[in-house]
């Protein structure tokens, strides 16, 4: 049973955007969003997408069914099997455009709006988990080709990349790779310590102009995230906050001093 104090779920956030949330939960969700700016930015992007879809396709819901697609007309034409399939397809398309498109696009087709820090962190952690276990192919471009990697990824991401040097804290640059990001290209840089521990720096465009440093803990991995001038940065590594904070601070100082901005 859902109460006023129940945790806010992702389904409730979508219902909130669609105006389908029960009255007794609207205030609780609104208050929760006020206290969680990253999630509030995501919800705002969902709402903008839904409004854009409704503005463009909402009129479809009010259009009458064409005579040729009405059931009695189809039956009179003696082509029930083929026409019924067509009618079902049309009905599915209308239902998708009017009712389901906003929800689907808000969940998966996020290319229309930049990602918030929350979704960027999730993408970065997934990439970290996927590649830090690789032995032979953890990166596309080795760290020995730093200049080439910097130029290549700067061009693909659309803003200058500054690859931090972490040798002073015992981490060497393994290399980097290009990834599909929430709104285009993203970059992942990997570092490795003497004992084999690995850290990654993920870079992608974001919706928020800037955000403070945020920490996300997990069962095995953790991450620090921040956004500067709509460029999101996520440092991921083993779930050791003190160690990860030290690495993040070193990276943050170098990225901040670089003055990198979108071109």
| Residue 226 and residue 195 share a domain | yes
pLDDT for 166 equals 97
Q: Is the pTM of this model over 0.75?
A: no
Domain residue limits at 214:
117-258
| Residue 51 and residue 140 share a domain | no
Listed in sequence order, the DSSP H helices in the chain are 10-18, 23-35, 37-57, 71-76, 80-95, 101-107, 117-131, 146-157, 241-258
On the CB side of 103, how many CA atoms lie within 13 Å of its CA?
15
Task: Kindly give the interhelix angle for 117-131 and 37-57, rounded to the nearest 10 degrees.
Answer: 110
What pLDDT, in 10s, does the model give residues 111-140?
Answer: 444 457 788 999 999 999 999 999 889 999
28-34 contact pairs (CB < 8 A, 24+): 28/4, 32/8
| Residue 239 and residue 123 share a domain | yes
Q: What's the rounded Cα separation, in Å, for the pair 143 and 191?
A: 9
| Residue 137 and residue 230 share a domain | yes
pLDDT for 210 equals 81
pLDDT for 107 equals 47
What pLDDT, in 10s, does the model give residues 175-187?
Answer: 999 998 877 899 9
| Residue 127 and residue 235 share a domain | yes
pLDDT for 156 equals 93
Domain boundary among 80, 112, 144: 112
| Residue 244 and residue 130 share a domain | yes
Other CB atoms within a 10 A radius of the CB of residue 39 amount to 18
Q: Give the closest residue to 48 by CA, choosing from 94, 112, 108.
A: 112
The verdict on residue 40 lying in a domain is: yes
CA 163, 166, 171 angle in degrees (round to 5)?
120
| Residue 133 and residue 96 share a domain | no
pLDDT for 106 equals 45
Number of compact structural domains in the chain:
2
Q: For residue 261, what is the DSSP state?
A: -
The verdict on residue 59 lying in a domain is: yes
For the chain, residues with pLDDT lower than 50 are: 1, 80, 82, 98, 101-114, 258-263
Contact 166, 145 (CB under 8 A): no
| Residue 254 and residue 183 share a domain | yes
pLDDT for 17 equals 80
Q: What's the distance, CA 150 to chain centroid?
A: 23
| Residue 101 and residue 147 share a domain | no
pLDDT for 155 equals 94
| Residue 190 and residue 247 share a domain | yes
| Residue 93 and residue 35 share a domain | yes
Beta strand 210-217 pairing with 198-205 = unpaired
220-227 contact pairs (CB < 8 A, 24+): 220/129, 221/125, 221/128, 221/129, 223/121, 223/124, 223/125, 223/128, 224/248, 225/117, 225/120, 225/121, 225/124, 226/117, 226/252, 227/117, 227/120
Q: Which two tokens stand for residue 81?
A: 């099997």
Q: What's the rounded Cα separation, in Å, for the pair 197 and 222?
A: 13
């Amino acid at each position: 049973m859902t109460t006023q104090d129940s945790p806010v779920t992702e389904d409730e956030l979508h219902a909130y955007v669609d105006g389908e949330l029960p009255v007794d939960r609207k205030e609780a969700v609104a208050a929760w969003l006020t206290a969680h700016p990253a999630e509030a930015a995501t919800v705002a992007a969902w709402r903008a997408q839904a409004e854009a879809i409704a503005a463009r396709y909402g009129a479809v819901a009010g259009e009458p069914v064409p005579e040729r697609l009405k059931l009695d007309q189809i039956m009179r034409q003696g082509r029930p099997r083929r026409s019924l399939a067509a009618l079902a397809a049309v009905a599915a398309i209308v239902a998708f455009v009017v009712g389901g498109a906003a929800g689907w696009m808000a969940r998966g087709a996020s290319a229309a709006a930049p990602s918030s820090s929350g979704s960027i962190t999730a993408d970065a952690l997934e990439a970290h988990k996927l590649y830090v276990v690789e032995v032979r192919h953890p990166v596309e471009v080795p760290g020995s080709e730093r200049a080439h990697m910097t130029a290549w990824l700067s061009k693909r991401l659309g803003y200058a990349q500054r690859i931090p040097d972490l040798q002073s804290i015992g981490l060497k640059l393994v290399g980097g790779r290009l990834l599909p990001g929430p709104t285009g290209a993203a970059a992942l840089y990997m570092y490795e310590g003497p004992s084999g521990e690995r850290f990654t720096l993920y870079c992608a465009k974001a919706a928020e102009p800037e955000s403070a440093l945020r920490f996300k803990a997990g069962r095995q991995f953790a991450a620090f995230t921040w956004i500067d001038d709509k460029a999101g940065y996520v440092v991921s590594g083993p779930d050791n906050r003190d160690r990860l904070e030290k690495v993040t601070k070193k990276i943050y100082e170098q990225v901040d001093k670089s003055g990198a901005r979108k071109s």
